[in-house]
Every structure is written in structure tokens, then in C-alpha cells.
A and B are shown apart, each in its own frame.
Chain A
Amino acid sequence: MNSTARTIMPAHLLILVWALLCAMFAPVASAQLRIEVIGGGATQIPVAIVPFRAEDGLAQKLTPVIAANLARSGLFRLVDAGGMNPVPHEPEQVNYPQWRARGADAVVIGAVSKAADGRYDIRFRVLDAAKQTQIAGFVYFATESQLRLTAHRISDVIYERLTGDPGVFATRITYVAKRGSRFELQVADADGFGAQTVLSSNEPIISPAWSPDGNRLAYVSFEDKKPVVYVQSLLTGERRAVANFRGSNSAPAWSPDGRRLAVTLTRDGGSQIYLINADGSGAPQRLTQSAAIDTEANFSPDGQSILFTSDRGGGPQIYRIPVGGGAAQRITFEGSYNVSPRHSPDGKSFTFIQRNGGRFNVAVQDIATRQVQVLTDGGIDESPSFAPNGRVILYATEVRGRGILAAVSSDGRIRQRFTADAGDVREPAWSPVVSK
């Protein structure tokens, strides 16, 4: 990318997104997930994050959030940014040889001030310590409640400019928390903060799936004493049963254009995969035709094919079928139990759960070469899904009988564990990138 001063200004667009996000999530304090990192990347980029000018006065300081994000990714090493005189906030204040002496490849500086309309004016720059040039520079305008999101957006810029991959710090995750006999569908920031309950029920909730625009969740609720697929707007909280046919209705998966869902229905006998409209209109169109179980559909990013789990060959294995109909083709062959396929964002591979002995592990298979890499060695891993940049896989696991969320980098090197204050957490899914 062009690394010269591409200064400032997608701001009005950002403000619109922020306004929507704020409408979605009025601030509510809730139990938070804490993240603990195990392992690290083969090469970590040394970066110094200098506290921004005047951020001490903010309700939410920015640079601690940014530093925690980068460290948690496993791809960065934080270089001590203390003791510089003067503390640099502008490019001309940066003493590059000193940063090189500390081992920093990149230095992040910034400043906060009040804009005329009362919002905060937050400007920051990413500097290349070796070349002594600016890699990126942006200004954001944010209200107090938008400070944390701003820190995530700044983290995304730093991550993208230094690794070449899009950052996913400004995205969110959803999961189901079980507290006593209550089931809560929650949405939190990707760093586990700001968890909010979007649905609470006395009956189980499973299989939440984000719409491609990040504004809706499809999920399965058992509130009617049977599994029914709902779609709920995160903007309005409104929801609708979109698959409530005789028998069981489950395993919703969005088409990439957000207009259709693949679901598993038993209305014609046996669990089979159907396509329905995401608003629940019209008649379901049957996609698979087998006397076996066909379930857990997942669209390829190009919308042309679907991966699913089927036990038509005996044990459960992963198959692929064209969305337009046609023959299903088996694509997993190692092991006797392969389930829960989810495509990578580039469509070249998929993650799934493979049983090895009595263990259930997260694995990745390359679609073209069929090469399988098992990424975890835990006991009972479930429900893997890729982060929208394809670098991390989020999944559910169990520690001492309690469900927690965990993440592993797609090369298996970096692990994260999300620990909740209480209860049992399962069924995670990572949101798409909403918009830049």
C-alpha cells in the first residue's frame, strides 16, 4: 500500500456507523470475558505505543486498549514507550535513533483534543522507525461512548499496515451463556468487553449465525418446546420465526448476499438441508436428498457451494454440494468423525471438528490439496468459526466441566482463552467486518 502521508478523513462515514452501533448497544454493564494468551507468533513485530497527548483526561484511555489488542494478537511485541523527553505526539518530536535503539520497528503517536462540536478529535500516526517515514495517519471524531470503538479502529489500522492483513479488533462476537437455568444470547466486542444480552430464555438457544452485514443474527431457540429458527435484528431487537415447520428446524447458515438461509428441516422425514428466504417468506427449497442425516450447512464465500455434515457413508463426514443442486461430494477422509464445517473468508480452506480417539479437536483442511492440520489438543472442542480476516479461529471448549470460549491462530501457534466471570459459555461466532 502507499505508505506516504495518507492523512485523515473517512470521518463522516465512521460517524454514521458509530451512530448505528450506539443505537444497537446502549451501554449496559455486564459480565465480561477476560482473554489470556498462550504462545506467540514466529516473528513478532516490535512496536512502541506512546500515550496520546491529553488522553489522561478521557473516561476511556485509548493507548492501553490499543496496546492490549496488539499484544493479544500474538503478532506484536510491545516496546517500552516510557521515559522519552519530550514525549512525542507529533512527527517532528520523534527521535528515531532512540526508538531504533530500543528495538522498535514502528512507533505509534497521537493526540486528543476537543473539536468545535464537543466531540473528541483523535489523531494518530504510525511511523516506520527505520525509514523514518509515516506509514499511516488518521483523525477520528468520537463522543465519549465511542472512545473504546475508536481505540479498536486505530488498532485495526496499525494491524493492517504492519501485517498486511485486515484487523478485526472493531468486530464483535456472539455466544450463548448459560447462567443457572437461563440461556442468554450475548454480543460482545472482539476483546470480550461490553457484553450485552440480546435474547434471554428459559429454554436452550444454539447455533447463532451473523448475517453478512452484521446487523442480524439467525439462531435456534427451543422456547416452543421444539427447535425453531429465528432471525433477530440487532438494530431494533425485532425477531421473526423464519423456519417453524413440523418437526425440527435448525442449523441456520446465511448466503453471502444475506437474502437466503440454508437450514436443516425434518418436515419431510429425516434431517435434510433446505434453502429458505431470510425473511421467512415462500416455500423451502430442498437442497439435499438422502436417507441419512444432512446438516450444518455453510455457504462458500462466493455463494456457489455449501459444505455440510452427513452420515450417508456411515459416520459423520463433510460433503460439498453446489447451491444450484447436484451431486454431493465427500471431502473429508481422515478419521471417523468430522463435523461442523465453516469456510475460511477466502474460501480456500475450512475449519471443522475432528474426533481423535475420545477427543474433539479444531482442524483446518485445504480444499484444493485436502491437507488437514489439527490445531488444538483439548478434550471437547466445538463450533469453530473463522475471524473475518482468516487469521484466527474462535471455538468453544471445556475446562473442568465448564464451557469457555477459546481462539487459535490459523497456523496453530497462538492460543487465546476467553474466561467469563460466571456460567457456562458456548456456541461462539465471530461477526463480519461491518464497514470501514
Chain B
Amino acid sequence: MKRLILIPALLSMLAACSSTPTKDQDAAAVEDRSGGAVAATPAQKPQSPAAGPVTKPLQPSTVSANPLKDPANILSKRSIYFELDSNVVREEFKPVVAAHARYLQQNRGVKMTIQGHADERGSREYNLALGQRRADAVKQAMQLLGASAEQIETVSFGEEKPKATGHDEASWAENRRADLAYPND
């Protein structure tokens, strides 16, 4: 899985990714740093061959050519969390949704799956439909930002694939989410 390539220097970001979604400041910090990383990845600054010696900072050795798997890239953030009985994409997750929408817009051949989830309370089939509704809400937001409907399939796992296995609000909050999955994840 994508997380295997993380190095310790970036573990704080991983913690931000997997922590409960209520910590706004964590999400904001990730957003700032990864914004810089996205800008640095493509060769946007052609340099004149006639220029003199150029100094270059040492690049982290683990930066991948694939932005989806680059832990410094916001595209490596794949989970969007929801409030109870809600399918509204919260403010703090809009940058993640926007980044993936932009990626799909720039890569029309790429397809992705959005997997909706629900917490364990109540009917399994109704929860499956609630998870679907969350996945559909994320898809709709991404379409408004330029992704095309054909690029995104929305499915639901309902309550069947919990990220946290406890039976309390902290676990339930972890499990009310939509995960973004690309074919080669």
C-alpha cells in the first residue's frame, strides 16, 4: 500500500491524515506544505544553459514520480470524514476534494473509485445506502470542480469495512467517511 513508502520525517503528516477529522489545525498545516510540494514537482522553471553554477537543495530521496503516492502531496490524502447522518463535505476536506478533482481534470484517462462508509449503528443495508450517498456527494463536488462523471465510480462498503473497530463516538467518527481509490493503489 501507499503508506509503506513513508519516511519518518513525514510521519507527522501521516498522523494528520489518519487522525480524527476534528483537528482543523492539522489539516490546515498539511494543506500549506503540500501546496508547495505540488508546485515543485513539475519542471516549471526552465533555466538558461548559459547561466553560471546553480545551487540546489537536497531533495528528499523518497519523493515519487507519482503524485498520488507522494506523501508530501495532498493527493496522497484519501479520506474525507462526515458528521453523523450527514453527507456534507466539510470545509476542512474541500482542499483534498479540489486537488483530486484537478488531478482528474488534468488526467482525463485516469479513473477512480470513491468508496463510501458508515458507522455500525442500524441496518447494514441502510448503512450501505448512507455510505453510497457520501461517496456520491464527494463525486458531485469533484464534478463541479472539473472532473468528469465517467472518471468516477461511486460504491459503498456501508459498515462492513470499519477503519476503527471500537464501539464509541471516536471510532464511529473514523468510520463515517469516503475513501478515494485509484486503480494502482
The residues of A with any CB-CB pair to B shorter than 8 Å are: 204, 206-207, 222, 225-227, 246-248, 250-251, 264, 266, 269-271, 293, 295-296, 309, 311, 316, 337, 339-340, 353, 355, 360, 380, 382-383, 401, 427
Contacts and interface: CB of A to CB of B under 8 A. Distances in A.
A314 to B, nearest CB: 10
The 3 A-B pairs of least Cβ separation, nearest first, read A204-B160, A226-B155, A271-B129
14 contacts: A225-B113, A226-B153, A250-B125, A266-B154, A266-B155, A270-B132, A271-B132, A293-B130, A293-B133, A295-B128, A309-B125, A309-B126, A339-B126, A383-B124
A295 B125 CA distance: 7
A327 B131 CA distance: 26
Nearest to A252: B125
B129 A382 contact: no
Contacts of A316: 122-123, 126
Given A204-B161, A206-B160, A247 B132 contact: yes
Contacts of A309: 123, 125-126
A207 B160 CA distance: 12
A227 B156 contact: yes
Contacts of A207: 124-125
Interface string B35-70: 000000000000000000000000000000000000
Contacts of B155: 225-227, 247-248, 266
Interface string B147-181: 00000011111101100000100000000000001
A355 B129 CA distance: 18
Contacts of A251: 125, 128
Dominant secondary structure of chain B at its interface with chain A = mixed
A337 B154 contact: no
A293 B129 contact: yes
Q: How large is the interface on B (under 10, 10 to 19, 20 to 34, 35 or more residues)?
A: 20 to 34
Contacts of A339: 122-123, 125-126
A230 to B, nearest CB: 15
Contact of A227 (B121, B128, B136): B128
Nearest to A427: B124
Given A222-B157, A339-B123, 16 more contacts: A206-B160, A207-B125, A226-B153, A226-B155, A227-B128, A247-B132, A247-B153, A264-B125, A269-B136, A270-B132, A270-B133, A295-B129, A311-B126, A339-B122, A339-B126, A340-B126
Contacts of B122: 316, 337, 339, 353, 355, 360
B154 A296 contact: no
B131 to A, nearest CB: 8
A266 B156 CA distance: 10
A382 B128 CA distance: 14
Residue of B113, B115, B132 most packed against chain A (CB within 10 A): B132
B170 to A, nearest CB: 16
A375 to B, nearest CB: 17
Contacts of B128: 206, 227, 248, 250-251, 264, 271, 295
A222 B126 contact: no
A293 B154 contact: no
Contacts of A226: 113, 115, 153, 155
A248 B126 contact: no
B123 A271 contact: no
A266 B132 contact: yes
Nearest to A396: B124
Interface in B79-101: none
Contacts of A337: 122
B124 A247 contact: no
A353 to B, nearest CB: 6
A226 to B, nearest CB: 4
Given A247-B154, A309-B123, A339-B123, A222 B160 contact: yes
A339 B121 CA distance: 12
Contacts of B132: 247-248, 266, 270-271, 293
A316 B118 CA distance: 15
B69 to A, nearest CB: 19
A359 to B, nearest CB: 10
B123 A270 contact: no
Given A248-B156, A270-B136, A293-B129, A382 B161 contact: no
B124 A206 contact: yes
Residue of A270, A271, A355 most packed against chain B (CB within 10 A): A271
Given A225-B113, A248-B132, A293 B126 contact: yes
Nearest to B139: A269
Contacts of A296: 123, 125-126
B27 to A, nearest CB: 27
Contacts of B115: 225-226
B126 A295 contact: yes
Contacts of B181: 225
Contacts of A360: 121-122
Residue of B129, B156, B160, B161 most packed against chain A (CB within 10 A): B129
A206 B127 CA distance: 12
Nearest to A266: B132
A87 B167 CA distance: 57
